[in-house]
Structure 1
Amino acid sequence: MLDSSQDRKVYEGILLQLHEIIQEQNLRPGDKLPSERELSEQLGAGRSSVREALRALELLGLIETRRGEGTFLKHYRHNRLIDILGFFILRDTKTKKDLIEMRRMLELDAVRLACRRATDKHFDEMERILAIAEERVARGEVPAEEDYQFHRVICRSSRNSILHRIWTPLVEYSNSIRIESLSREGRASAALVEHRQIMEAIREGDVNVALERMKQHLENSKL
């Protein structure tokens, strides 16, 4: 399989390429993907490396190769592809640091805008998510999905569609970081308190307080 650093980069590139193709071209299971030659040219990699990476993707159940026809998209769960992408992307310490830094920038901008643009509908949704998260924490569960949904509502309440579209894949890639952070002793309960404080500051339209609370929350969430 792919052992060298260069081959791992090729593998990661193909994973990202596959994800972009699926998203941008709205491909469905059964649709044909670019050929080995096309991928080789797009990625600037040798065809043998591309072929080896495609074999690995086939083992993951994301694609299938039909002799004489080409490579085709198989039925897959979107979240599974995101998890696979995240696994490879976050193995690099610098990339992980950059991702966390970028998320901080986006979420602070989202909070700043939300203080002016959030509606009652957004706050009702935040309350609903927090209630579910509290029930899960009480049962000793990790409310990773609710954590994601809460931050997603804040981004949506900024009413900036580009910000939201950039934020979504960024945070999905870092799903493993979120789960690991929330699994720390007492972290899930503390995050709930912080979420409620952030929500109230946004509701009051207090930009400075909301920003300070979000900064502290993101700092506390670091591993």
Structure 2
Amino acid sequence: MSEEPRNARPAAARDRRVGAQIRSDVMQLILDRRLPPGAPLPTEAELMESLGVSRNSVREALKALQALDIVEIRHGYGTYVGQASLTPLVDGLTFRTLAHVTDDHAALTEILQVREVLENGLISRVARGISEAELARLESIVGRMEAAARAGEAFPDLDREFHETLYGTLGNALVPQLLAAFWNVFHRVAKVRGWTRDPAPEVTAGRHRAILTALRERDVEGAQRAMADHFRGIEARSAQATRGVN
């Protein structure tokens, strides 16, 4: 067996440090210049000159930042500021969950618990400040859920729309993005594992109706209890799925 050269590890560690510094410098450039998403970045040659590094180092740093959606490389056109979306988070959490091959339910439960803490922590603010117009939008969604349930149909898109609409009332753009990230992870895993069935659409519709009823009554504690009941139902369904109940 050939031995690794003695200086290989220090060189690799040095390259990682250099790469991290270049990535940090590019991010700082974006911040210092207040470049919005879609704005063009300096060319590779300009970055090489300003940062004092090689073309290959610049390219490797930009590829790493592209994976984080911090920059967007458009081949033949240049490099632009990315959307800084939560897509890398979704990809990482999906892989983390699927990697728990011996216990999918435990991995999914961790994600659901984080989402539950987030939603239960915010539902009280929603209950205190939701408007009649926003309640009407939620009523329309729940009505469509109930119609689908009567027809024996699942309604994952309506479920997602309900939660996005519910917390969209707070005016915090990050909250719907985080909820969408957890939603996407759950349903990506479900698709890979072949969990395609909601065992009780009418129960799911009823839980959303209970949340809406509490919100109409401005009942903060009632809304929190209804949301907790909803999550108990989600956890029960994921447990059934991981045991092979479809």
Fold match (TM-score > 0.5): yes
Post-superposition shift, 1:54? 7.3
Whether the aligned pair in 2 keeps the contact of 1:110 and 1:154 (CA below 8 Å) is no
* 86, 90, 101: which one aligns with 2:90: 86
CA distance in 1, matches of 2:65, 2:223: 46
What secondary structure, in the 3-state scheme, does the structure 2 residue paired with 1:27 have?
Answer: coil
* 1:145 is aligned to 2:157: yes
Shift of 1:63: 3.6
Matched, 1:169 2:181: no
Q: Say if 1:141 and 1:27 are closer, same or farther in 2 by CA, change over 3 A.
A: farther
1:99-138: per-residue Cα shift (whole Å, max 9, x none)? 5444222311322122222222111101111233344556
One-letter amino acid matched to 2:123: V
Letter of the aligned partner of 2:90 in structure 1?
G
**Counterpart code for 1:169:** Q
1:186 aligns with 2:199: yes
Taking a change above 3 Å as real, the CA distance of residues 95 and 112 of structure 1, as seen in their structure-2 partners, is same
Computing the radius of gyration over CA atoms, which structure comes out larger, 1 or 2?
2
Call closer, same or farther: CA 1:129–1:96 in 2, change over 3 Å.
Answer: same
CA distance in 2, matches of 1:212, 1:34: 53
SS at match of 2:95: coil
- In structure 2, give the amino acid aligned to 1:114: V
CA offsets per residue over residues 137-193 of structure 1, 9 Å max, x none? 566654333212211232234xx43xx323111112123345339943325442211
Give, in whole Å, the separation in 2 of the partners of 1:105 and 1:131.
Answer: 27
Which sections of structure 2, spanning at least 5 residues, go unmatched? 1-15, 52-56, 98-105, 239-246
Alpha-carbon distance in 1 for matches of 2:198, 2:231: 17
TM-score of the superposed pair, with normalisation by structure 1 = 0.60
| Distance in structure 2 (CA, Å) of the matches to 1:221 and 1:97 | 9
Percent of aligned pairs with the same amino acid = 21
Q: 1:126 aligns with which of 126, 138, 144?
A: 138
AA aligned to 1:90 is: T
CA RMSD of aligned residues (A): 4.4
Cross-structure match for 1:206 = 219
- 1:41-92: CA deviations, max 9, x gaps? xxxxx767546657989xxxx64233xx742479xxx8xx766652233322
Q: Distance in 2 between matches of 1:64 and 1:130?
A: 42
TM-score, normalisation: structure 2: 0.55
SS of equivalent to 1:71: strand
- The answer as to whether partners of 2:138 and 2:162 remain within 8 angstroms in 1 is yes
Are positions 1:220 and 2:233 aligned together? yes
Q: Which AA in structure 1 matches 2:179?
A: V
